[in-house]
């Protein structure tokens, strides 16, 4: 299933907790796991992801050029957006104003 953002929203593929936190990645490789509830809580604190698609009116209210494009890695407001789950993948539906920075 593909998500097409409407209006001023963006679809972002969040960086996984394993990619974000090397200590968690090492613990998981050693066989240690978090409870599902704790994993969801820790994953929600990850605030970076890759832009998958951008809605047609995104960034227009702010005048000027869009500050990110499809494929960019961005930093977004912590705990922002709506989490979407498609099979084993998770996506985030963000408002354009929740984009804080582009990672270069």
Q: Give domain limits for the chain.
A: 9-16+46-102
Q: What is the pLDDT of residue 1?
A: 61
| DSSP track, 76-100 | E-TT-SEEEEETTEEEEEEEGGGEE
Distance between CA atoms of residues 65 and 44, nearest Å: 29
pLDDT tens per residue, range 37-76: 777 777 777 789 999 999 999 988 887 788 899 999 999 9
Q: Look up residue 10 and give its DSSP letter.
A: E
What phi and psi values does residue 29 have, to the nearest 5 degrees? Answer: -65, -30
- The model's pTM is 0.80
CATH of domain 9-16+46-102: 2.30.33.40
């Amino acid at each position: 299933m593909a998500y097409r953002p409407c209006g001023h929203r963006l679809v972002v593929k969040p960086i996984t907790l394993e990619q974000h936190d090397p200590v968690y990645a090492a613990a998981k490789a050693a066989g240690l796991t978090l409870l599902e509830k704790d994993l969801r809580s820790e994953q929600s604190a990850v605030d970076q992801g890759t832009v998958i698609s951008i809605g047609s009116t995104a960034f227009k209210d702010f005048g000027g050029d869009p500050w990110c494009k499809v494929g960019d890695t961005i930093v977004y407001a912590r705990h922002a957006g709506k989490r979407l789950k498609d099979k084993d993948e998770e996506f985030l539906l963000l408002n354009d104003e929740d984009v804080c920075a582009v990672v270069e």
